[in-house]
Amino acid sequence: MKKQLAGFLLFAVISIQCIAQDPAAQKYAAEINAKRTKKHLKVLASDKFEGRETGKRGAEMAVAYLASEFRKLKLIAPVKGSYLQDVELIETSIIVNSLEVNGSKLQYGTDFSFTGSGEAKTINADEIIFIGSGTESNLKNTAIADKVVLLKQDGESAEITRRLNFVKSKKPKLIIAVNAAKTRTPHSHLSGASLSVKNGIRESIPMRENTPGVIQIGSEIADKILSRSGKIFEELNAGNGSQLVKVDVKLNYEPVKRELKSSNVLGYLEGTDLKDELLVYSAHYDHIGLNPEGGKDKVFNGADDDASGTSGVLAIARAFAKAKKEGNGPRRSILFLMFTGEEKNLLGSEYYSINPVFPFAKTITNLNVDMIGRIGEEYQSSPDSTNYCFLVGADRLSTDLHKISENANAVYTRMKIDYKHNAPDDQIYYWSDHYNFAKNGVPVIFYYNGKHADYHKGSDDISKINFELLAKRAQLAYYTGWDLVMRDKRPVVDVKD
């Protein structure tokens, strides 16, 4: 009995040691609160910042604000005395030289809008295939590779995007997408110029490149296109399955390129005895700009995506800066890195990965915070709705990092951690800036609240942010980082991804 009791007491002592809290870590975590994150988010997600689109005025206003905040915290400007890393980009605008249907010319911007990529192209076709809404069942017995297809767009935005991507994966020559709810041309905010990193070497990421062009039209123009067949769009839509329609389509387009610059914003906090090693906190400050169909609400504010993460990282930076000022600073150095161009295909982080300010060999981990201010659709009715976070990537390269993350949550924040989006077949791992660290062998964690109905809409605004939840998720990232910069050994990369 005494031996059993002794064993139990030993176990209890070990357990207590494992869950011991660091009073210093807790003291500075108080800097990461709802009031402070709201202060930053109200600025970044305001209409004044015009949706922070990369290369546009609103994004440059965000850059100035972030640099000013880093300066207030007395962070070091690590890019030759500047907080800004100029990101050299190539803007490619696709110019439609002509679109003729059944011998009649259609006018860009009035009759149709267009998105496309790649080199100059001429498309000639004498028939199109109507494929309904582009569902798997619509295309079950229909081959559309190298064909021109007519697609009905209806339903929620996320579902429309999913079906469009599915149709693109079947490699048609051209997609003519009809917004059946509108008689006028739908002007998508995705129309217009695309951006890429100058001299970048992009790895293949599914569904992002080499996709067919998409013509967006309203139902009136659809009826014009179908006039030769004697049908109207409503009749086609009422039918079953795919239908072949005789239509002469001639399209010619080409890319026009110009160079432009944006900026990543960097603030550096130097460590002590392990200062040559570096932890990176990151978020992207950019969003998707102005909404041409927004009426009175013409700004995609991007309050959750990703003013929430940017505000969280600013609060984390304040906590660590105060700790250093009071003699409790980190042993390892910390880089607070705000990226441009995430919405344009991770361009700011891609540029940094090609031109790192600090060597990747000395970068121990990237903690990336992207969308932490909302309750995602999967948790709307959950008892954990205000106490959860999706984590992605922690175990992809380092079992050590996963354990450190789990321990930080168990000791301090005690949130429900959901690893659904960390599944090997989930594409979320590739869709935020941490990926450009992971592909260079740096262990990563991506903090995320999941998608919601306001994703990439004008309704992603400040009024819908849960600031207490935002602050708690940011504290989880902070506590994980505190352990990483204070421990004797960096997390070992022991997993092949």
| pLDDT by position in tens, the chain (length 497) | 344 444 444 444 333 345 589 999 999 999 999 999 999 999 999 999 999 999 999 999 999 999 999 999 999 999 999 999 999 999 888 899 999 999 999 998 889 999 887 788 999 999 999 999 888 888 888 899 999 999 998 877 768 888 898 999 899 999 999 986 654 444 443 345 778 888 775 554 443 446 789 999 998 999 988 988 888 888 887 777 788 999 999 999 998 988 989 999 999 999 999 999 999 999 999 999 998 766 678 999 999 999 999 999 999 999 999 999 999 999 999 999 999 999 998 999 999 999 999 999 999 999 999 999 999 999 999 999 999 999 999 999 999 999 999 999 999 999 999 999 999 989 899 999 999 999 999 999 999 999 999 999 999 999 999 999 999 999 999 999 999 999 999 999 999 86
Task: State how beta strands 274-284 and 332-339 pair.
Answer: parallel
Phi, psi (rounded to 5 degrees) for 462 = -65, -35
User: CA-CA distances (angstroms) from residue 375 to 25, 384, 386, 466, 467?
Assistant: 27, 10, 7, 8, 11
pLDDT at 207: 39
Is residue 138 within 8 Å of 242, Cβ to Cβ?
A: yes
Is residue 207 within 8 Å of 103, Cβ to Cβ?
A: no
Q: Is the peptide bond before 494 cis (omega within 30 degrees of 0)?
A: no
| CATH 3.50.30.30 domain span(s) along the chain | 91-257
DSSP string, 195-225: EEETT--PPP-TTSSSPPEEEEEEHHHHHHH
Relative orientation angle of helices 399-408 and 467-486, to the nearest 10 degrees: 130
> Which secondary-structure segment (H or E) carries 313?
helix 309-325
Query: How far apart, in whole angstroms, are the C-alpha atoms of residue 61 and residue 373?
Result: 22
Distance (Å, rounded) from C-alpha 20 to C-alpha 284?
34
Which tokens in the block code for residue 450?
């999941």
| Predicted local distance difference test score (pLDDT) of residue 202 | 54
Write b or e for each residue in 231-268: b if 16 or more Cβ atoms lie within 10 A of its Cβ, otherwise e: ebbeebbeeeebbebebbbbbebebeeeeeebbbbbbb
Distances (CA, A) of 338 to 38, 174, 311, 324, 470: 18, 37, 10, 21, 17
Q: How far apart are CA 265 and CA 66, in angstroms?
A: 7
Task: DSSP letter for 307, please.
Answer: I
| Backbone CA torsion sign across 182, 298, 372, 348 | positive
Q: Is 7 helix (H, G, I), strand (E, B) or coil?
A: helix
Determine the angle formed by the axes of helices 57-72 and 34-44, rounding to 10 degrees.
Answer: 150
Nearest by Cα to 257 from 118, 49, 138? 118
According to the CATH classification, is domain 23-76+270-486 in 3.40.630.10?
yes
Residues 472, 425: Cα–Cα separation, whole Å: 28
The two tokens of residue 225 are: 């296109």
pLDDT at 19: 55
45 Cβ contact partners less than 8 Å away, ≥ 6 residues apart: 301, 302, 303, 307, 461, 462
Instruction: Name the residue among 415, 425, 427 with its Cα closest to residue 468.
Output: 415
Domain with CATH 3.40.630.10 in the chain: 23-76+270-486
* Residue 82 DSSP class: B
> Alpha-carbon distance 100 to 252, whole Å?
9
Q: Can you name the CATH fold of 91-257?
A: Glucose Oxidase; domain 1 (3.50.30)
| Six token digits for residue 381 | 């009715």
Q: Are 236 and 176 in contact (CB under 8 A)?
A: no
Torsion sign (Cα): 378, 383, 387, 390: negative
Rounded Cα distance, 68 and 267, in Å: 10
**pTM (2 d.p.):** 0.82
Tokens at residue 471, please?
């602050």
Distance of alpha carbon 373 from alpha carbon 37, whole angstroms? 10
